[in-house]
Amino acid sequence: MLSRNLRHTLRSPDTVIMTIALPIMILLMFTYVFGGAMNVDGEYIDYVVPGIILLCAGFGSATTAVSLSTDLSNGIIDRFRTMAVARSSVLTGHVAESLLRNLITTTLVILVALVAGFRPTGDPLRWLAAYGVIALFVLALSWLAAALGLLAKNPEAANAVTFVFMFLPYVSSAFVPPHSMPAALHWFAENQPVTPVIETLRGLLMGTPIGNSALLAVLWCAGIAAVGYLAAGVLYRRKTTH
């Protein structure tokens, strides 16, 4: 299932653009267009790259919902039921493809960021931990996206319901410090799931204080992944028993 989903991704120009070109364009836009107007400690590119990574992970993970909904709409799931294919492999194949695709995208974004002036200070162990945090975040969103894709009536609806994946990083510490926001937005930015993940990445890559962000990041990701996994399993069984 993983190889099938990877082939589908490579044959889809829209997905390739969303996966590779769009994240790089967002990085360059925030660095060169908006960066000069941002007031943060140090270079803005060093501040914004962790947020860009999570924003791109949200984009990439959201496509899991559309891909799974498309499989349901096209009837390929019914065909899999007649073959010697484990039911769980359909869901895990989509999630595993999302994880691999997003980790590749993350690496490309980091390479472009390094060329643009990103100067991380983390040692190899911290880099490994950072990739672990990113992988956990992608897994959480991918399982949630799988559940939403099964819940949606068609691929268009699946694409619409995952809008929140793209919205949350904008109201977090991704692009500006939360204390610069109005009071209500400040509270939301400090207490939503994306901010502790970003602050953990920022601490691992740039050496900024992490505090309790790492624990909150793991708890948020584990909770979202558990809810998504359980919901996707229930919804998939309902969809495939008719």
pLDDT at 153: 84
Contact 30, 175 (CB under 8 A): yes
Residue type, 121: T
Measured CA to CA, the distance from residue 147 to residue 228 in angstroms comes to 6
pLDDT at 227: 96
pLDDT at 210: 93
Contact 206, 122 (CB under 8 A): yes
Tens digits of residue pLDDT in 188-233: 999 999 999 999 999 999 999 999 999 999 999 999 999 999 999 8
Positions in the chain short of pLDDT 50: none
φ/ψ (deg, to 5) at 72: -65, -45
In three-state secondary structure terms, 211 is coil
Measured CA to CA, the distance from residue 168 to residue 87 in angstroms comes to 32
Q: What is the pTM of this model?
A: 0.88
Measured CA to CA, the distance from residue 70 to residue 64 in angstroms comes to 10
Q: How far is CA 11 from CA 15, 17, 153, in A?
A: 8, 11, 24
pLDDT at 23: 76
Is 90 exposed, middle or buried, given 0-12, 13-18 or 19+ CB atoms closer than 10 A?
Answer: buried
pLDDT at 3: 57
pLDDT at 19: 66
- Comparing CA positions, the residue from 20, 13, 4 lying closest to residue 101 is 20
For 148, other C-beta atoms within 10 Å of its C-beta total 27
pLDDT at 167: 81
Q: How far is CA 222 from CA 114, 193, 215, in A?
A: 30, 11, 11
